[in-house]
Amino acid sequence: MKRNTIGVTSFVTIALLYVLLSGCDKKSTNYGLNVIYMPSSAVSGGLNLNYPVPAGLDSATYNFTKDSLNNKVTVFLGVSVSGQQASNGFTVKVSVNKDTTNQIIAGKSIANAILLPDNLYSLPTSVTVPANMNSASFNLQIDDYNSFKTICKGKMALLTVVINSPSNYSLNTNLNKTVVIIDVNKLIGIKPYHIY
């Protein structure tokens, strides 16, 4: 009887193992919608579109660089596409939405907020994500850091950066803009460094 129980147990174990292994599909299944978005617009966990600068623990994790040799500050931004089938690449236009920024300033939800002056920054007009990639970075560049410090000291400098007009895929209109909020005093307090 004991021998029969071992035989039945072995048979059941082998049969169960066969069913489990034969259920595994080795083919890759593509999941998710291919939707373009700005990762920086989601740093609040969906509460708002705010992207505080500076953020990070040290020069290895900051969301900016502060280059005293070239008198520049670079704020890191980016564009991504979700889904596993996104391999064709795409281009989006980059622009600024001053109306959104001015509404935030007028609403006084951010104390000491000002619109980042046009003459202090530069942005690319478009960003391209190459084929077989799902993201690319681009930068908000403060071109004259010394003037920026003088004009904006003690303020929160705001700029709403928007991506639109994708050449491929659809756009997530809830995450296609980022409100960059530069805490100027905190930024001034961080020691400059240069990435070589």
Residue 14 lies in a domain: no
pLDDT of residue 190: 85
Q: Average pLDDT for residues 126-146, to the nearest whole number?
A: 94
Average pLDDT over residues 158-172: 96
Structural domain range at position 69: 31-189
Residue 60: predicted pLDDT? 82
Residue 149 lies in a domain: yes
DSSP result, the chain? -HHHHHHHHHHHHHHHHHHHHHT---SPPP-S--EEE-GGGGTTSSS--EEEES-SSSTTT-SEEEETTTTEEEEEEEEEE-STT--S-EEEEEEE-HHHHHHHHHHTSSTTEEEPPGGGEE--SEEEEPTT-SEEEEEEEES-HHHHHHHHTTSEEEEEEEEE--SSSEE-TTSSEEEEEEEHHHHHHSPP----
In a domain, 55, yes or no: yes
Question: Is 50 exceeded by the pLDDT of residue 196?
Answer: no
Dump pLDDT digits (tens) for 19-39: 555 555 555 555 668 899 999
Tell me the pLDDT band of 45, cut-offs 50, 70 and 90: confident
Percent of the chain with pLDDT over 70: 80
Report if residue 1 sits inside a domain. no
Of 6-10, 91-95, 113-117, the range with the lowest mean pLDDT is: 6-10
CA distance 158 to 195: 25
52 falls in which pLDDT band (50, 70, 90)?
very high
Q: Does the residue 41 lie in any domain?
A: yes
The pLDDT tens digits for 61-95 are 899 998 888 999 999 999 999 876 667 889 999 99
Residue 109 domain flag? yes
The pLDDT of residue 5 is: 53
- Return the CATH number at 94: 2.60.40.1740
Phi and psi, residue 4, nearest 5°: -65, -40
Task: Answer whether residue 21 is part of any domain.
Answer: no
Is 2 domain-assigned?
no
Which pLDDT value is given to residue 23? 55
Number of folded domains in the chain?
Answer: 1
